[in-house]
Structure formats: C-alpha cells, structure tokens
Amino acid sequence: MNTADMTAKIAAGQGFIAALDQSGGSTPKALKGYGIEEGAWSNDEEMFGLIHDMRSRIIRSKAFSGDRVIGAILFERTMDGSVDGKPTPAALIEKGVVPFIKIDKGLEDEANGVQMMKPMPDLDALLSRSKALGVFGTKERSVINSANREGIAAIVAQQFEVGQQVLSHGMMPMIEPEINIKSATRAECDAILLDETLKQLDALAPGQQVMLKLSLPVEAGTFDPLVNHSKVLRVVALSGGYKRPEACVELAKNHGIIASFSRALLEDLRHQMSDDEFDASLDEAIAAIHKASIA
C-alpha cells in the first residue's frame, strides 16, 4: 500500500482501527490484563519485551487482517520492533493494515478542567523516522475532565497545532481530545468540544484533512457534523473504559464512526492461551467490534 492506498482505505474501509499503543505507566496494567503479573520482569526492557510479544502475537494471528482491521496504532517501541523478522509497520502493511504511531509523551497535570499534552521536543525526528518506516499517521491524546470552555479550547488548539506539524511531514494526524466518560458534565463537554473542533477545522487550509478520535457522545449523533465535514478523513471512537459489549452498543448508535478500541479489543486475551484459543478469542472480539463499526 502506498500513501494514496492507505488514505483510501482509512477513508472508506469497512472495518476499525486497533489501538496497540499502551505505553509507560499503562503497560503493567495491560500485561496484568493479559495474565502476566507484575514481578514477571525485572526492568523496563523486559517489560516492554513482554508487551511486544503480546502485540506480535495479535498481529500474526489469522484473525487479525485488513478485511476487518483497517488500521493499527503502535507505541514507538513497537514500531521500532519486528514481527517474524519484519519491521512492525511492514508486517502490518503486508496484512493490509494501515500503521499509525502514538506520538504524545503523556499528560500535564489538570488545569481548567483538562490535561494538555506534555511537550514533544523530539517530534520532528520521530515523524521522519516513522514516515521512513511506512507509517501513515499519528495519534496524540489529551483529556477533558469537565466542561470548562477555556480549557477545552486550549486543548483543541494544542491538538491542531501538533496536527499541523504532522501534516508538514506528509502524515495524517489523528487528533484525540478524550472526554472522560466519568465526567459529571459529559454532555456539556461534548457540545463545547464539537464547537471548538469545528472552529479549528474551518481554519484548516484548503485540501488539508485530519482524523478525529473521540469518546462516544452522551447523545448519539452529536458528532455527525464532524463525520460529515470535508476536512475530516475519518472519525473513530475510543472505548474509554467501557467493556466491549457496552462500547459496541454505544458505537453502533453513531452512524459513520468506527472503533479504535484498546482495552475493549484485548480484554479477553490471555498469555496462557494456546494459539488456537488465542485466535478464537481475538476473532470473537474483532467480529463484535467490526459489526458495531459498520452498523
């Protein structure tokens, strides 16, 4: 797949994007969910080796292919690793899966009801390296905890500023201002986020497009103006803490939005499974998320 092929697949592909990008502090939790308890590794290298083994097992599974999984988001170390002797992005492309890279370096402390992204001083170097490996796009996450317009406006502006840096490298930014699904002001957050995002989209130059990764809204259809916007390549949804059945129900209510699930995709997979058991469990998860994505 070249860039035009990847763009077309993401724009119109009948499938979803797998989020395989747990990093740093979330890695032990991901490993525990996979059946590997803390203490099974003695340093970070061993820990990241174990999570890479899990991701490699997913990617090489016969259940994981480009007919239902149209894209996958990678952690930087996963991108730099290999699957069966091939660079991970190349292994994905061979299966018809478009590779993305998580570029944010974590979150700042909360201010004005939001958590901005930490500085990314080495972003240009990472983007150049990612592009050379065949990676199509990026993902950058920040978090909205309450309906503070000043905070939400700042978070969206930061996201689009980083997005411009990504676009300058010929890559596709996936902008992720996540709304905390436990927020007491979630519906208000949805409305403010929609308003501020439309302002930023309308300010993009002619021909520029971005992707959006959003929490599922309180009211189905809230983000239809984003789904239908000419400067949005695709809107995808994070599971945000929902278990897979509930995440799929909520997703199916929102026409035109596809999944980009992490925990909801991986929640039933265990290190101890035989390959046949692992493939069957992964296939069940992929089938459910795929069905909800194309509903």
CA separation, residue 250 to residues 216, 218, 254, 257 (Å): 7, 9, 7, 11
Whole-number Å distance between alpha carbons of 97 and 89: 9
- Best CA proximity match to 119, nearest among 108, 129, 131: 108
Buried b (16+ CB within 10 A) or exposed e, 260-276: bbbbbbbbebeeebeee
Is residue 176 part of the annotated active site? The answer reads yes
Please name the helix (run of DSSP H) or strand (run of DSSP E) that holds residue 151, with its range, or none: helix 149-167
From the candidates 9, 95, 102, 213, give the one annotated as an active-site residue.
Answer: 213
- Best CA proximity match to 208, nearest among 259, 249, 165, 248: 165
What does the DSSP 8-state code read for residue 72? E
Q: Tell me the three state secondary structure of residue 184.
A: coil
Whole-number Å distance between alpha carbons of 263 and 91: 22
Is residue 213 part of the annotated active site? The answer reads yes
Letter for the amino acid at 233? L
Contacts of 152 (CB under 8 A, 6+ apart): 113, 114, 144, 177, 189, 192, 193, 196
From the candidates 140, 176, 178, 196, give the one annotated as an active-site residue.
Answer: 176
Catalytic residues: 176, 213
